[in-house]
Structure 1
Amino acid sequence: MRIVFVLVLLVGIGLAAFAVSVAKDRFDQYQLAIAQQREAIVPTTDVFVVTRQVRYGEPLTQADVRAIRWPADHVPFGAFTSLEELFPEGVDEPRVVLRVMEADEPVLVSKVTAPGEDAGVASRLQAGMRALALRVDVTSGVSGFLRPGDRVDVFWSGNDREGSGVTRLIRSNVQIIAIDQIDDLDRNNPTIARTITVMADPGDIAALTQAQASGNLTLALVGVGDETISEAVEVSTNQLLGAAEIVQSAGPEICTVRARRGGEMVVTQVPCTN
């Protein structure tokens, strides 16, 4: 009996040692996993997003935004990271939405106005740039497919110094900031516009004004993402039709008088008086 008791005791001690070893390995693996997770944690910061869809022209209030955690190294440019930055103290007038934002989309500086600022054309003008309205119709306005934010090449058609018809590219990549009275960048329904408002520097404004007063303007839509600058283009009527200069020979002028004598017609040469 004593031998059996000793054997059972030894087996129990062995099993206990094995269980302790297994538990220690599991504990070490758990500690290693926690350490790896701590190393993999990405630092975050607050970024304010909208809680619902907000559209152009709506005032943005504190009830429309909330803070979420965002990777600190990948914060979108122009995002607001504090409520005081988005809604400055002492300012009662709200910001106005410039672009449609969907729920949980970050609020960016480019998508809202400054506090109390109107969401009009003036808020779109860059430093040193001016706005100019140009007359368009269904032909010159690309059949109504222009919208705010598009860029166009402007062609002028008129007569040159010799009186010959000519069409010339006068400005390239001019940005449209409004169609008629609409400056919503999310507008995408075709509309036959009567005027478009473009953004340009004062020199280009003067050139476009003179071109509009002295001839007809036609717009050519520039593709999205096309950053090429069109080279100088000019086509005259003679170039288009391949017209050649006609030279007439100057021969002696002969004047005659016809008279009927009886049944006969007599032709008599006389001096020319003109």
Structure 2
Amino acid sequence: MTSSGAGDRASSTLKRAAERGSRRTGLRAALFLGLAAIAAIGTAFLFTRYLEAKASAARLPTAKVVVAAVNMPSATALRAESLAVIDWPAASTPEGTSSDAAALVGRVVTSAVSKGEPILESRLAAPGTAAGLAAILPAGMRAVAVRVDDVVGVAGFLHPGDAVDVIVTMKPSDASTQPPMSKIVLQNVRVLAVGKEVERADRNFDKAMPATVATLMVDGEQSEKLALAATKGQILLSLRSGADDDMLSTPGITPPVLLAGGREPERPAAPATATPAPGPKVTPVSSRHRARAPVVEVRPAPAEKQTVEILRGDVFERRDFEKESRQ
């Protein structure tokens, strides 16, 4: 009896342990299934939102816009292979775009256009304008070329689009004995081209670009000043900051002023002139007597005086007497 009772208790214990293990396994399985269901629902929700957003974007109205298919520098004529037509959101289409690429072939861009950028009418020269500098010159402006070297051209760091001041050193005239003077004759002048480059294609402005000619954009009056400065004097180009538009008024500088520290050198004082002694007074005569000798009026010299001081008790007297002249 004793051994059989112990066996029954052991078997019942094993049964209860097996039942508890099966319940725990069922709970884990249910938990995993619940997490999987939540993840599936979240994924479905996000995917649905994505499809809705894509469908909404596809429903936006679009318009045909001509864009640049390649990078194009300024003063470049448009060609068919350099243009492309794409769909552009109609609500954000820039003003001045075109939908016909064939109508733009042969037009000249007045400023650089990047790949994918819309071709705007405001950045095109008038129809019939030939490619080159003439296409990017505003009305009333001129393009004047000046000879430069490493010194005049700011050591090669002069690029198209920069602004410069023109400094000239020259004498007032060829026969002048005055020293030469340096003065700023033109300010904030735009550089159109350096050498044969109208625009740097690589946009690498931190490297020098040696050239022997620089083309400046000036008006008619400035072109006369620049021509005279380049012919009769020595010019120097001074590079300006891109954010500097101030116009300065300078008097110029000469070697004496430069050596005097920017001040006018002191001039030696003129010798003092002796004051003439008073002479006889000449009385002018009338026009009827101009042929005669002038009348000279001689005034007698004032008589010398002598002073005598007399003391009488507490009374003091002072008398003046004319001094007799001795013959």
Q: Give the secondary-structure state (helix, strand or coil) at the position aligned to 1:235.
A: coil
* Residue 201 of structure 2 corresponds to residue 181 of structure 1: no
1:67 and 2:86 matched:
yes
Amino acid across the alignment from 1:131: A
Judged with a 3 Å threshold, the aligned counterparts in structure 2 of structure 1 residues 210 and 112 are, in CA distance, closer, same or farther, namely same
Match of 1:194 in 2: 212
Equivalent pair of 2:194/2:214 in contact (CA under 8 Å): yes
Contact 1:46 1:68 in 2 (8 A): yes
- Listed one character per residue, the Cα deviations across residues 104-132 of structure 1 (whole Å, up to 9, x for unaligned) are 22223465555664431111211011111
AA in 1 matched with 2:193: A
Partner of residue 244 from structure 2, selected from 204, 219, 226: 226
Structure 2 match to 1:157:
169
1:178 partner letter? A
Mapping for residues 206-225 of structure 1, pairs under 5 Å: 206-225=224-243
Give the number of the structure whose alpha-carbon radius of gyration is greater: 2
Q: Which runs of 5+ in 2 are unaligned?
A: 1-55, 272-327
Question: Could you tell me whether the CA contact under 8 Å between 2:107 and 2:128 is conserved in 1?
Answer: yes
Residues of 1 paired with 2:110 and 2:136: CA distance?
9
Cα distance in 1, alignment partners of residues 168 and 160 from structure 2: 22
Matching of residues 1-274 of structure 1 within 5 Å: 45-54=63-72, 57=76, 59-61=78-80, 64-70=83-89, 72=91, 75=94, 79-83=96-100, 86-88=101-103, 94-95=106-107, 101-109=113-121, 117-160=129-172, 163-186=178-201, 188=205, 189-242=207-260, 243-245=265-267
Name the CA shift for 1:132/1:103 in 2 (closer, same or farther; >3 Å): closer
Equivalent pairs counted in the alignment come to: 206
Secondary structure in 2 matching 1:223: coil
Task: Work out which structure has the larger RCO, using CA pairs closer than 8 Å and 6 or more positions apart in sequence.
Answer: 1
Shift in Å, 1:70: 4.0
Whether contact under 8 Å (1:175, 1:199) holds in the other structure is yes
**Aligned alpha-carbon RMSD (Å):** 3.5
Q: Any conservation in 2 of the 1:47–1:70 contact (CA below 8 Å)? A: no
The CA deviation at 1:214 is 1.4
Structure 1 residues 238 and 109 mapped into 2: Cα distance closer, same or farther (>3 Å)? Answer: farther
One-letter code of the match for 1:61?
A
**Equivalent pair of 2:60/2:89 in contact (CA under 8 Å):** no
The sequence identity of aligned pairs, in percent, is 28
One-letter amino acid of the counterpart of residue 81, structure 1: S
Normalised by the length of structure 2, the TM-score is: 0.53
Structure 2 vs 1, CA of residues 135 and 75 (structure 1 numbering), >3 Å: closer, same or farther? same
Higher strand share: 1
1:60, 1:96 within 8 Å by CA — same for their partners in 2? no
Residue 248 of structure 1 and its aligned partner are, at CA, apart by 11
Query: TM-score if structure 1 supplies the norm length?
Result: 0.62
Rounded Cα–Cα distance in structure 2 between residues aligned with 1:201 and 1:158: 22
Which is worse superposed, 113-122 or 227-236?
113-122
State how far apart, in whole Å, the 1-side matches of 2:171 and 2:120 are: 48
